Structure 1
Amino acid sequence: MKKNFLLFSIVAATSLCAGSDLSSAFQEGKTSGQIRYFYMDEDNKGNLKDYYGSAVGGYLKYETGSWEGFKAGAALYAATYLNDNISSTNTEPTAGNKGSRYVAGLMDTVDLNKNSLMNLGEAYISYQKSKTKATVGRMKLNTPFINTEDGRMIPTLEQGVWITSNDVHDYELQTGYINAFWNRSTSDWKSVQDSFGYGYQQGKAPTNVNSNYGNGNTNTNGIYIASVTYKGISDTKLEAWDYYIQNVFNVGYLEGNYNKQFGDFRVLAGAQYIGEQEVGNGGNDDRTKAYMDHGEKSNTYGAKAGIGYTDSLLTFAATTTTNKGRFLFPREWGKEPLFTFQKRERSDGSGGSNAWLITLDQDFKAIGLNGLTSKIGYGRYYKQDAKNAVLNKYGLPSYAQTSVDVFYNFKGPLKGLALEYLFTRKSAIANTYETPASSAYVFGKNDITLQNIILNYSF
């Protein structure tokens, strides 16, 4: 079915643009793209292995103009290492011979010896009538759970059908079906069931043995998604999402946000709820091969409040997942929407957990530095004991995280060029069970410093 969707998109796009009377669709077409440079440094604790890598790549996209409401588009994505120390043999013996967790993601975590990759990331046909648009083929989606998670060289991309409508006043309706992914940090498209665990660690099953839901062991025919967003209340946005992963699990997501400007002051508040439950057999009758344990459920709650003055915004957020079960969502498909999310770590896999985060957003235009902004965050993330596989899938000890994210968007003749510097420091605040012979709960998880320099030129 994955190949059928792509074939349909290509045939439909070819048919759309086949006639000479459609030449205007080509003439009005647009070429766009991005050139990206990425440097990452992964500094693990003490004498544990460190990693670095620099890469260049990007994408080139062409989309036709509209013809009777139809458009067709395609985009080629590519990346290559310039310099790195990533390989299948450069591993840490005290951590079970694991290698880089972060830098390896710049290219292909499935084949650490691969130095470049290229693939067709987008190939679609769309049809728009009034304020309703339908797209079929390979595309780039941005939803709370399934999104680009664009923090490496190439983002996560999806294949399927997607419909968005704003024809109902004050409402945005979205629905779709996904049957394949190009997981970030991999080089191949995979069906939904084969994308589970592809390129990412699978952690522990609640039975305290290594999970094995990857390698095609998860059985599903795809993902069905529906959402409704309501904007009819002044300064307020309410949204509800449902993700049904056939035979595996269901995710219900509610979020509400209030954002109001009072002269130079700004006030915001938000709340969110995530409810999950196993569907079918969680992906497999064998509990060690099931993505979600048989009968497992989880509830996650979040809240945030913030106050801003002129170009500054201070925000406090908190998240809690009850001990009823683990909060789960495949890292292969996107970053999570939790208010306490910080770049370079996830809450996926945690139950009976609590977190809080304070952030300061600053725009420096008032002092004449137009285009310069920053975000500074400090959070504490309290997990169950690292050896408690029932509520701590990845054996991640509680930690504190500090992040400094600085952005500069160039102006004038360099318009389109953007620079980002991201600094992240994670420090353990719970038992890591570290011994001279073992760093399994530290290496790549805690007492680690990450530095990133990203340069993007978009056109």
Structure 2
Amino acid sequence: MYTIKISLTLILSVALWGNTIAQTHHTHEEQTEESDTVKVRSIRELFTKGEVEGHIRNYFIATINHKELTDNYANAIGAKIGFRTAPYHGVRLGFAGLFTYNAFSSDLSEADPIARRLPGTELELFDIEDPTNGADLDRLDELYLEYKSEGLFAQAGRISFTSPLINPQDTRMKPYAAQGIQVQVPIKENNRLTLAWLDHFSPRSTVEWFTAGESIGIYGSGVDPQGEPSEYEHHTKTAGVAIAGLQAKPHPRVQTEIWNYFIENISNNLYGKALVEVAPQVSVGVEGLYQNQLGNGGNKEEGKRYFPDQKQWLIGGRLAYEPKDWSFSLNYLHTGNEGRFLFPREWGREQFFATLPRGRMEGTGNADLLALRVVKRWSDQLSVEGAVAKAWMPSVDDHRFNKYGQPSYVGLITDIHYTPQKPVLDGLSFRLLYVGRFSDTSGLALEDMYYKTNFHQINLVTQITF
């Protein structure tokens, strides 16, 4: 709460500063008309003229694992309801809460007898910290003060923050959520500067809020470079992460962005991306990330350290052809051999060119991922994506470069989005996602395949958005 109080003070200061700047270009009356979308004459009208938004979601998952490994299924139903007051001189208050129920499922609290691990994806619909929790799954997702004008956008409190490495990724029942302050400033046309400080997180598939250090390791900590179980969970020390991002379009055919994530006492992470249209409907892209240790990497004791003394990097590329209603792209990612690409999984999901559903490269080094994606937009109501990926991973026993023991694999994706056209069904949408992953089983232990490879998975999401 102390952090929230500081953040609210900062955003009020920012709002006053923004108004001062705006008034150098507009009269008071003009600024009021731009900031206030509705006329508010009392505190009561702040709420009676506010906005309600949210969704109701039903999510079914079923996974067929290899041979004797346990198959699982789960169906979650829940809703998110948010409210924003009407703006007053650009300032408004917002909050949102969500809840989830386990309608039915296999026993998610029972570990597979061979792999000795709990069901992966199905449990992520609910509470990964308490596999038996099927009903007490509510969370205050957002509580923020916001200021918006022509030249400034700022939020403070519990917010939704979007960037390549820290993002909501609202593809389960709960998104990743963060607490802190963010400021976005447009710079000329099509350029935007983002600054943020985040110090608390509520990871997807959890119901609690944690300090930045406490959140790291909730998703599982894998093994250290020597192959011993990592012990940094509950032992990582950091005040939070400072973020700076610049998204720019220096030329009509060029899009760029650069982000820096300064995780106090852990690591600094510099990411950049550029997309260039080289011919009509043809574009190429390149991206890269470089990271190095800060302070003691999270703990002065080596066995409890999250980020070792390393300088790691990755590089990716994209070649795309996008005629009308189609998109064909070949995407590539390589993680360097200086260590392992490490970034807290609890804060979001990496968004690289080659990123596909249910696939991460975090925790790997000296690895390659190649993905071919095809998207067909049949209409405003229907789009279909198909993808095939090949991942060349280090051996599951090469702990220096393979933190989570992920085998090399071939992955298949089919992703169908459908929105009914009839006005009476406005707000209703469906998503059908198939994920398949396959590996050579020779020399691969059965327990090393559980939710990592040689499985088929069906996801069916029905949602009403309002």
Fold shared per TM-score above 0.5 = yes
Aligned to 1:115: 134
Measure, in 2, the Cα distance between the counterparts of 1:327 and 1:100: 25
Aligned partners of 1:176 and 1:288: how far apart in 2?
A: 31
Of 438, 445, 448, which residue of structure 2 is paired with 1:441? Answer: 448
Paired residue for 2:72, among 51, 66, 87? Answer: 51
Residue 190 of structure 1 pairs with residue 183 of structure 2: no
Q: Secondary structure at the match of 1:440?
A: helix
- Distance (Å, rounded) in 2 between the aligned partners of 1:206 and 1:105: 27
1:248-271 deviations in Å (ceiling 9; x for gaps):
111100001134784xxx222211
- d(CA) in 2 for partners of 1:31 and 1:12? 26
How far residue 208 of structure 1 moved from its aligned partner, in angstroms, is: 1.3
Report the residue type matching 1:340 in the other structure: A
TM-superposed CA distance for 1:71, in Å, is 0.7
User: Which amino acid is the alignment partner of residue 301 of structure 1?
Assistant: I
Gap regions ≥5 residues in structure 1: none
How many residue pairs get matched? 438
Alignment of 1:293-308 (within 5 A): 293=308, 295-308=309-322
Query: Are the equivalent residues in 2 in contact too, given 1:400–1:429 (CA < 8 A)?
Result: no
For residues 314 and 234 of structure 1, the distance between their equivalents in structure 2, rounded to whole angstroms, comes to 21
Instruction: Give the whole-Å Cα distance in 1 for the aligned partners of 2:113 and 2:212.
Output: 33
The CA distance in 2 between the partners of 1:345 and 1:356, in whole Å, is 12
Q: Which of the residues 105, 108, 112 maps onto 1:87?
A: 108
Preserved contact between residue 261 and residue 269 of structure 2 (Cα < 8 Å): yes
Structure 1 residue 230, shift from structure 2 partner: 1.1
Give the equivalent residue in structure 1 for 2:21.
none
1:341 equivalent in alignment to 2:355: yes
Q: Show the 5 A alignment for 1:243-262.
A: 243-259=261-277, 262=280
Q: Percent identity?
A: 26
Tell me if structure 1 keeps the 8 A contact 2:7–2:181: no
Matched, 1:161 2:181: yes
AA in 1 matched with 2:248: Y
Match of 1:130 among 150, 157, 161: 150
The residue type paired with residue 411 of structure 2 is: Q
Trace 1:90-239 onto structure 2 (pairs within 5 A): 90-95=110-115, 97-116=116-135, 117-198=137-218, 200-214=219-233, 216-239=234-257
Whole-angstrom CA distance in 2 between matches of 1:8 and 1:280: 25
| Letter paired with 1:360 | V
- The 3-state SS of whatever aligns with 1:93 is coil
* Paired residues of 1:8 and 1:137 also in contact (CA < 8 A): no
Which of 401, 416, 422 lines up with 1:391 in the alignment? 401
In the TM superposition, residue 169 of structure 1 has moved relative to its aligned partner by 3.9
Query: What CA RMSD, in Å, does the superposition of the two structures yield over aligned residues?
Result: 2.1
* Residue 341 of structure 2 is aligned to residue 327 of structure 1: yes
Give the direction of change, closer, same or farther, for the CA distance of 1:59–1:7 in structure 2 (3 Å limit): farther
User: Is 1:371 the counterpart of 2:381 in the alignment?
Assistant: yes
Q: Which amino acid aligns with 1:410?
A: P
Q: Deviations over 1:218-266 (max 9, x none)?
A: 000000000111113113211110001000111100001134784xxx2
SS in 2 for 1:26: helix
Q: Which SS does the other structure have where 2:339 is aligned?
A: coil
Map 1:30-41 → 2, pairs under 5 A: 30-41=51-62
Q: 1:129, 1:60 → 2: CA distance?
A: 25
DSSP 3-state at the match of 1:231: strand
The alpha carbon displacement at 1:415 in A equals: 1.3
User: Equivalent residue for 1:275?
Assistant: 290
Contact 1:257 1:271 in 2 (8 A): yes
Question: Partner letter of residue 300 of structure 2?
Answer: D
**Aligned-pair CA distance for 1:10:** 8.4
In structure 2, give the amino acid aligned to 1:113: T
Structure 1 residues 314, 20: CA separation in 2 closer, same or farther (over 3 Å shift)? closer
One-letter amino acid of the structure 1 residue matched with residue 256 of structure 2: L
Q: Is the 8 A contact 1:155 1:184 kept in 2?
A: yes
- C-alpha spacing 1:165/1:290, structure 2 compared with 1 (3 Å): same
Task: Note the C-alpha offset of 1:186.
Answer: 0.8
Q: Secondary structure at the match of 1:94?
A: coil
1:368-421 CA-partner distances (Å, limit 9, x unpaired): xx4110110001000111101100000111111000000101222111111000
SS of the residue corresponding to residue 328 of structure 1 reads coil
Name the CA distance, whole Å, in 2 between partners of 1:433 and 1:188.
37
Distance (Å, rounded) in 2 between the aligned partners of 1:168 and 1:310: 30
Matched, 1:452 2:459: yes
2:227 partner amino acid: N
CA contact (8 A) 2:7 2:180 kept: no
Gaps in structure 2 of 5+ consecutive residues: 16-39
- How far is the alpha carbon of 1:126 from its aligned partner? 1.0
Cα deviation digits, residues 293-323 of structure 1 (max 9, x gap): 1x11211000001112221111101111121
